[in-house]
Amino acid sequence: MTRALLIAMLISLGNAFRFHRHSVGSGNEAAVRASPTFRMNVPVLIRSHRSQNIKDEGGQVKLTFNSDLWEEWTISEAGNGKVTINSHRGQYLQDNGGKVKLSENAEEWEQWTISSAGNGKVTIKSHRNQYLQDYNGQLKLTGNKDEWEQWSILDVLDGPYNWIRGIAQKGGVHHLEAKTYLIDKQYQLPPNTEIHGAGSSKESGTVIKADGDRSYDAICGANAKNRKGFLLGDNNYIGQLHYIGAETKRFGDNQLLCGGAPFETPGCAGVGEYTEPPEWCGGDLGTGQGAENVTVEDVSIEEFTVQQVFFAPPTKRGAKVSKDITVRNIRCNGTWADGMNFHGAHRNILVEDNDIRNCGDDTYAIWSIRDLADNITFRRNIAVKPRYRPGCWSSWDAWKCKQQNAESFTKQYCFAIYGGKTSALLDNTCIDAKEAVAYGNFQNRLFGGAFNAESRSVVKGMHGTSGYPCYFSRHNSIRRENVICEA
C-alpha cells in the first residue's frame, strides 16, 4: 500500500489518526510522529518509563502514579509537525529556558515534536531540541534520547482503568467479562451501582488486579490515598470475581487497624480508640458517610495481597453509620491484618458462609464505638489459624515484615467482640486459635468499645474447637449472664 493511499484512507475515516513526517536536526533522517499510538484533541495520559504520569497540580508540573483529571492532557496540532500539550486547566506545557513549566501561551516555547521511539513509546522534544525526561521522579529536559526520555501516550477513554472510572462516574448495573481488569486506586461507587463478575475462579472468571504505585509505606489518614479497591455506596452490589491486591506486609501505620481492604464502606480515613463518634478522624474516606443496603458475595481473594478482606470504618459525629450490610462467601487463605472488621456504630450486619484463613490478627471482629454497634450476626463462617503479624515500615527487616508462615507468632481470636449491644454467632468453625470467641482481649482491652447492662450475645454451634468456646476478659467484658454460649 502506498503512503498516499494510506493517508487517503485515514482521511476518509475522519482523521482519527494521522501520519506526518518531518526532518530531524540537520540531516536527512526522518522521524514518524507516533500518531497511531494516540489521538489528537482527546484526553490522554503521558506516562514515563517509571509508570508515572505528568500532572498539572495547580500550575506545577509534576509526576505521579495517579491517573485522574489532573493527569489528563490534550495534544493538538500546532503546524509544521509540531503539537501543543494542554493541561486540564487550559495551560500549555512549556520549555522555559530548560525548565518544564506551564503557560497560557501557545507559541514557540509551547510547541513540541512527538516522535516514535519504537515499541509503542515516543519521545517529546521541545523547541530547544531538548527531550522531556523522567529523572527519578523529577520532570526535566535533556539532550539525551534514551530510556528515561521515552513516554507512552494513553487514551484516557481506552486506558486500563477506564472501566472502573466509568462505573465510578455513572454507576448503574455492569456485567464484567471473564478476563483481568486493572484497578489503580480506591474508587467511591455511586448509589445503585452493581458489579457482577463472570465467576470467582482465578483461572476462568473475572479477575480484578491492583495496579499502579506500589512504593507506598502507609495507608492511614492522609495516606488513605494509597488504598486500592472499592468504596461502597448505598444500594451497592459486588460479586462473582477474584481479587488480587498489591501489598506485601502489614503497614506500620496500620498496627491499630485503619483499613486496607478491597471492599470498604466510607467513613474515617484515620483510626483511634474512639469512645464516642469522633469530631475528626484523619479525614474522610470517600464520602465520609456510611453505606446502607450493601452486598458483597462470592469473591475469592489472592492470599497475602491485602490487609483484610472487608472493613467498615467508623464515621464522624453527625455522619450516618453503615447498616444493612451482607458479606457472604468471601474466601481468602492469608491476610496481613484482620480478616474482616466492623469498627464503629454500625448495625444490621450479616456475615455468612465466609472462609478466611491465616489472618494477621483476629479473623472476624466487631469493634464498637462505646456500645453503639448493634445486631451483627456471624453465621456458618470458617476461621483457621489467626496469628498476630505486627505492622512494619520499609526500614525494618524484610523477614519480619513479610512473614507468611507465622506459626510461632501469637495466636489471635477467630471471633473478637470489642463492645456493642447485640451479636449472634451461629454454626461457625474455629480452628487453631487463642480462643474461638473473645469478649475483650487477654489484655482486658476493648479499644474504645464497651458493653452495657443490656448488651446481649448468643454463641451456638461452634465447631472445630473443644471445650467452652467463649472467653471473657477480666475487666470491662460483657456480663456472663447476658451471653448464651454453647459449643
Q: What is the pLDDT of residues 364-402, one digit of tens each?
A: 999 999 999 999 999 999 999 999 998 888 877 666 677
Strand 323-332 versus strand 347-352 pairing type: parallel
Per residue in 251-260, pLDDT (tens digit) is: 999 999 999 9
State the first-to-last Cα distance of the chain, in angstroms, to the nearest integer.
79
CATH topology of domain 3-156: Trefoil (Acidic Fibroblast Growth Factor, subunit A) (2.80.10)
Helix (H) or strand (E) segment spanning residue 347: strand 347-352
Within 8 A by CB and 6+ apart from 2, the residues are none
Identify the DSSP state of 170: H
Amino acid of residue 415: F
* CB neighbours of residue 392 within 10 Å: 22
CA–CA separation, 469 and 300 (whole Å): 28
Residue 299 CA to residue 67 CA, distance in Å, equals: 26
Say which range, 56-65, 262-271, 362-371, 451-460, has the weakest mean pLDDT. Answer: 56-65
CB-facing half-sphere around the CA of 466: CA atoms within 13 A: 0
Q: What is the pLDDT, as a whole number, of residue 5? A: 44
81 vs 448 pLDDT, higher one: 448
- Which pLDDT value is given to residue 297? 98
Residue 391 has which C-alpha cell? 505492622
Enclosing H/E stretch for 92:
strand 92-96
Please give the Cα distance from 120 to 465 (Å, whole number).
58
Tens of pLDDT, residues 213-243: 888 999 999 999 999 999 999 999 999 999 9
pLDDT surpassing 80 at residue 6: no
As assigned by CATH, the class of the 160-486 domain is: mainly beta
Chain region(s) in the chain for CATH 2.80.10.50:
3-156
481, exposed or middle or buried, with CB in 10 Å at 0-12, 13-18, 19+? exposed
Highest mean pLDDT among 133-142, 154-163, 406-415: 133-142
Dist. CA 324–CA 249, nearest whole Å = 31
pLDDT tens digits for 66-120? 877 889 999 999 999 999 999 999 999 999 999 999 999 999 999 999 999 988 8
Share of the chain above pLDDT 70, in %: 91
- Looking at the chain, the whole-number percentage of residues with pLDDT higher than 90 is 80
CA–CA distance, 472 with 416 (Å, rounded to integer)? 11
| Nearest in space to 335 (alpha carbons), one of 307, 302, 363 | 307
pLDDT-derived band at 453 (thresholds 50, 70, 90) equals very high
Q: CATH 2.160.20 in the chain: give the residue spans.
A: 160-486
